Structure 1
Amino acid sequence: MNETTEYRSPRDSDGHGTHTASIAAGRYVFPASTFGYAHGVAAGMAPKARLAAYKVCWNAGCYDSDILAAFDAAVSDGVDVISLSVGGVVVPYHLDAIAIGSFGAVDRGVFVSASAGNGGPGGLSVTNVAPWVTTVGAGTIDRDFPADVKLGNGKVISGVSLYGGPGLASGKMYPIVYAGSGGGGDGYSGSLCLEGSLDPKFVEGKIVLCDRGINSRAAKGEVVKMAGGVGMILANGVFDGEGLVADCHVLPATAVGASGGDEIRKYVSAAAKSKSSPPAATIVFKGTRVNVRPAPVVSAFSARGPNPESPEILKPDIIAPGLNILAAWPDKIGPSGIPSDKRKIEFNILSGTSMACPHVSGLAALLKAAHPEWSPAAIRSALMTTAYTVDNRGETMLDESTGNVSTVLDFGAGHVHPQKAMDPGLIYDITSFNYMDFLCNSNYTLSNIQVVTRRSADCSGAKRAGHAGNLNYPSLSVVFQQYGKHQMSAHFIRTVTNVGDANSVYKVTIRPPGETLVTVQPEKLVFRRVGQKLNFLVRVETTAVKLAPGATSLRSGSIIWSDGKHTATSPVVVTMQQPL
């Protein structure tokens, strides 16, 4: 470690840990804001919870030995919840330090939530996919920070920013240039506004349009500022999937979408050829906007399924607020994250599944306090079966990256609903032995299972569940390989525990995936006491579809148990694969 830039202790040296910890358990603070943005009362999800911090990441990276040691230390210290806003590549569970460490924690009754990763919007990008971990994706909230670009031709391009310094002169239009068309050096590095790529003679006194990529968003603004630019417009690329993320820029700057960037480039190119009306623009900062519709929307960066390691387990499990989240910030670190940024703030606004994860962690702490007898799987079940999939317009949540309707591969069971999770009615519980059965049925060797579980395994038992999808998970996922078969079927066995009213009758509603027959037996569950467990069988039948070699087709639906007071919803996902 470098003791000039980081601390040999859990103390935070880059802001990430402070931010995520306060989202989970920050106390009430008023007034709170970032340069006046998002002004109001700030509080974590569980404001009265106690925090224990364990450092697993350093400037040089996050080491498996530190991750495993932190899990063991946290469990030994008696924590109830572990929040892990860390991720990596997906590997088999016996090679995954997070999967190994989290199994040990869950085995001791500790709930573990982890970020799904920021690799979206592409498929198979989700990380932290072990079924004993609650995997959290990111959604938006109904608040944003508009900072629009006004062009010389009168057109207005929507953007977002958290810039908090002196703004551009009101009513004044500034010359605008595209950094990729003469900014010095090659056009590629100029367009990305890399260090040393801009010619001061080209950008001085002007607003500079930069393309997203390679260096950080805020670092591009620093490059423009050092070259003498008065402002920056950051344009997302068509394929970067990042969506619009607000930043605390070091100069007047805003981020616009891919289509907005294209329009600005076309305007700059056309106006540059006109001697009478050279290209000009300004940035109009509009502060904080609330009651945004639609919301929530699945954030473009949020990692997506299917689960690369265990397709029978739907991941991410749920989504939670992860875009433009206000939380605490250490005063020795500039809000932009750039070393040269010496501004001091108490709160910063950041985006990522790192921010979504502690929302669920804090909520899990509240659930554990209300239901101390609940297992980690019970808590996850309550969060999943009560989650919602509609936005504030009453329509299915959208995907920020496409503007289209999102799917279960984007949001899992849906967006967490704290109040409903407190009283879910039914839960799907899972024991450590159930997870061991899952590993057996996933064709892990006995030695590999022992690495994960730290105990001897026996995969020969007559009561083996039969297939990996029979893990008592709150979602149901089946993958059919189409080897010329016309009719295909699968079944799931699930056990629900009554945690609602003593005498209650749950009836099932089936919303089958398209062109799929789903039957549930029995169709009614009659409970006589709290804590009673009842089983049901789900059968899924479908017909092979025409697919190109190597192609897949996904369909989704749900089964819903309701007693008139409680509603427990489970996604049903059917994936058809055509082998190569």
Structure 2
Amino acid sequence: MVKTLLLEILIQVPVTILFPFLGVWPESESFADDGMDGVPSDWNGICQNELDISFTCNKKLIGARYFNKGYEAYEGAPLNISFQTPRDTDGHGTHTLSTAGGTFVANASFFGYGNGTAKGGSPHARVAAYKGLSLSSTSLAKGKYPIIMSTDAKTANSTENDARLCLYGSLDSAKVNGSIVICARGTNARVEKGEVVLEAGGVGMVLINPATASNNIIPDKHILPAVAMTYSDSQTLLCHTSNQTGLYISHELNAVRFYLVL
């Protein structure tokens, strides 16, 4: 009885949930404002949509902003529209905000399975979304970075295959420190491979596809700068790194260039 009463109170309490970093897709039914009163008079937020007029707020989604000035100054060039709107670009912001404060959505399902009504933890709440960019997680500082095969940095007690896959404990920090490491997909999670590289002192990762994965590229939220490569592109890179030393990646503005320093 107490738990039921508490749940009812939490559902009905008028609150505003502010969600940073990821943006939102305003067209989602989770943010419909049917039956809601007007925006509270003490709300001081804005709906920043001067460059994306298709993005609109309402009595449910009462605010949205994006923060890109630092990233724009860092890049030194105009950013594309995806960085100049509070709109969510990969669905994660919309998913998390609707989980917290999405309204009731009837006839929800997962591709026809689990039919029912979807709602967030506080369906009567108003919500606001903010989208920002973190330089530390999305970019390397400008400069040149040595790129190495993970197998060339394996620890003494690791197998070459463990190092190739960048499994935990397989990389020697003395060899990895300050470098971008080439890791192969397989066995452990893709994001976990980046964790292994970072813990060993690496500054970035190139994730290469095996022949079985071909051109299947899956975007991930890595904890360090990382790029995924198709099998064919991976073979080109491996051709350059095979039996070579002095290969560097140079990050200059929006371009990434490969150099072989002889």
Larger radius of gyration: 1
**Higher relative contact order (CA closer than 8 Å, sequence separation 6+):** 2
More helix by share: 2
Give TM-score, length-normalised by structure 2.
0.50
